[in-house]
Amino acid sequence: MHSTTTFRQVGFAGLITLFISGCAGVPREDGAPANPRDVSDIPDAIPVVHQGAIKNSPYMHEGVVYEPMISANEYSEEGIASWYGTKFHGKQTANGEVYDLYGMTAAHKTLPLPSYVKVTNKTNNRSVVLRVNDRGPFVGDRIIDLSFAAAKKLGFADEGITEVLVEGIDVGAFAAADIEGEHQEVFLQMAAFSNYHNAQIMRRQLSASTDTPVKIVKNDSEDEPLYRVRIGPVQTPDHMEILLDTLEAAQFAPPYLVYETVAQ
C-alpha cells in the first residue's frame, strides 16, 4: 500500500506502518470511518491547468522501476480498482498534498502528478472525475486506488474492489468533450440548502451576476430534501473560465463540478 481537494489549486511516499497504541502493538487495518458521512453531495474534482511542476520522474518501489507518463491525455485502461481510507487519512501523498478520504482523488502508478481521470464502474456505469495525486496501488494487478468517497459514489466501497474503465482527461478540452457526449452535461453547483427560500435567494443573486441559466434541483430521495443551486450547462472550456472569473469577482464561494444525465 501507500500514502496517498479545494477548487483551484517529488517524492515517493513509501510504505508507512501505523500501530494502535496499547496492548500488543497490532498494525492498524485500513478501512472506512466508523461513522461515515453521506457522500452524495461531494462533488467531482474539477480539472484545471496545473501551474506548478508536474511530478513524472522515474521512481522505484520494492525493486521495480516505474516510469510515469508525460501526460494523461489519451490514456485509457480497464482493470481492477480498489480504495484506501482511514489508515492514510491526513497523511502526505506522493504529490505532497494531504490525503482526505472524503476528497475526490486517486492513486496511480504511472500517471503524472497531478492529473485528472474519469473512472467508470463497469458493473453499474457510475462515473466520477478524480484528481490523481498519489502513487499506487502496489497490490496484484490493480490499476488504480480511489479515495473512500470515490468508492462510495461508484458503489463498491463494501466490496473493496471492482472492474473499472479509467480515462485520462485532457484538461484543456474536458468541458467540451463531456458536453459533446450523448448522456451528460456539465454544471457548476454553488450550494445545497435544506431550506428552499435560501436556495431561491442564491439563485436570484447568481442570476444578477451572470447570463448563464441558474436553476434549483430538488433531491427527493433523502429523508430531508435538499435544494441544489446550479449554473449551466457549461458550453466550452472558455465558458467555464468566464464563469469562474465572474463568480470569483462577485465573491461567491468556489463551485463544484457536477454532471447531469440528459434524457434520451
Closest CA relative to residue 137, chosen from 200, 80, 213? 80
What does the pLDDT read at residue 192? 84
What does the pLDDT read at residue 181? 46
Containing 114, the helix (H) or strand (E) segment is none
- DSSP SS3 for 238: helix
pTM of full prediction above 0.85: no
Q: Which CATH number fits domain 1-170: 3.40.50.150, 3.90.950.20, 1.50.10.20, 2.40.40.10?
A: 2.40.40.10
What does the pLDDT read at residue 153? 95
Q: Look up cell 483551484; give the residue.
A: 8
Euclidean distance between CA atoms 25 and 6, whole angstroms: 36
Domain locations in the chain? 1-170, 174-261
Containing 189, the helix (H) or strand (E) segment is strand 184-193
What does the pLDDT read at residue 107? 97
End-to-end CA distance of the chain: 42
Closest CA relative to residue 74, chosen from 111, 107, 102, 43? 111
**Do 174-261 and 1-170 fall under one CATH topology?**
no
Judge if the upstream peptide bond of residue 233 is cis by omega within 30 degrees of 0.
yes
Query: Tens-digit pLDDT profile for the chain (264 aa)?
Result: 443 333 333 222 222 222 222 233 333 478 888 888 888 878 888 887 776 789 999 999 999 999 999 999 999 999 999 999 898 888 899 988 889 999 999 999 999 999 999 999 999 999 999 999 999 999 999 999 999 999 999 999 999 999 999 999 988 776 555 444 445 677 888 888 889 999 999 999 999 999 999 999 987 655 677 888 999 888 776 788 788 889 988 998 878 777 776 654
Architecture of domain 174-261: 2-Layer Sandwich (3.30)
